[in-house]
Structure 1
Amino acid sequence: MLRTLIITVGLLAALPAAAQDCPDETQSGMNKCAADAYKQADAALNATYKQIIERLKDDADTTKSLVAAQRAWIAYRDAECDFITSGAAGGTVRRMLQTMCLEQVTSRRVDELKPLLECEEGDLSCPVPAP
């Protein structure tokens, strides 16, 4: 129990401000706040990903590479969040912690992909063509 509490406190300290500022401090309220934050991060990821796919529409090989990378990233994200929250296994807080982890990892992925939309023409180190 103490181990779970310590892990939970450690995770909570690293939470995004939106999750920390949830107006409903019940478990179901915090679950909803976490889910809302994750939905926003997921929407940002989907929008960024679609923009990259659109720019790659004439390059089937690079599109295939991006799809493979994204599928591998999804497997990583899910496994990482399962691992990170394993200390809360069996507890009511785990769902919230997993959702918060998903939001954090997804937001980092958006931060990784967005620069690909700002590549300069002729930059061979960037797989996404300039608009």
Structure 2
Amino acid sequence: MKLLPLCLALLVAAPVALPAQSQQEMNAEAAETFKKADKELNEVYAKVLANLDDLAKENLKKSQRAWVAWRDAEAAFRADAEARGGSMWPLVHEGIRGRLTKERVKSLKELLLEEK
């Protein structure tokens, strides 16, 4: 009977084994997450465009081009600040691009809700 509490204590204290990931795997995962966010962005952007008149379409296209340039420049700046020349640079860069893209998707979805 004294052995049971000891076994339970060891089970609770034992670290949970997490799958190890190399830097390359983490970089690839961040790139894939960004790719999914970018795909959603393009889908939502197309829906918003479909609901606009010609002048508004041109304005949104200009805005989107400027936003993409800003997103990429911001991600490069921040990745450089955190990981210049390091193997983590792609992880930081793609992570920031993914986060900013998700925020843009949310913003564009609000336009769709306003149209209704």
Q: TM-score, normalised by structure 2?
A: 0.78
The aligned counterpart of 1:16 is: none
The aligned counterpart of 2:88 is: 93
State the distance in 2 between where 1:24 and 1:36 align.
18
Structure 1 residue 53 displacement after superposition: 1.0
Q: What amino acid maps onto 2:36 in structure 1?
A: Q
Rg larger in structure? 2
- Structure 1 gap segments, 5+ residues each: 1-21, 120-128
| Alignment partner of 2:103 out of 101, 105, 108 | 108
Structure 1 residue 51 displacement after superposition: 0.3
State the distance in 2 between where 1:47 and 1:73 align.
16
Measured against aligned partners, the alpha-carbon deviations of 1:32-68 in whole angstroms (never above 9, x if no partner) come to 1101111111111111001011112xx1110000000
Structure 1 residue 89 displacement after superposition: 1.2
Identity %: 36
What secondary structure does 2:86 align onto? coil
Structure 1 residue 24 displacement after superposition: 5.3
Structure 1 residue 23 displacement after superposition: 5.0
| Alignment partner of 1:73 out of 53, 67, 83 | 67
CA contact (8 A) 1:24 1:30 kept: no
Runs of at least 4 residues of structure 1 off by over 3 A?
Answer: none
What secondary structure does 1:85 align onto? helix
CA contact (8 A) 1:38 1:100 kept: yes
The aligned counterpart of 2:76 is: 82
- Indicate the RMSD between aligned Cα atoms, in angstroms: 1.5
What secondary structure does 2:59 align onto? helix
CA contact (8 A) 1:48 1:113 kept: yes
The aligned counterpart of 2:12 is: none
Larger RCO: 1 or 2 (CA < 8 Å, sep 6+): 2
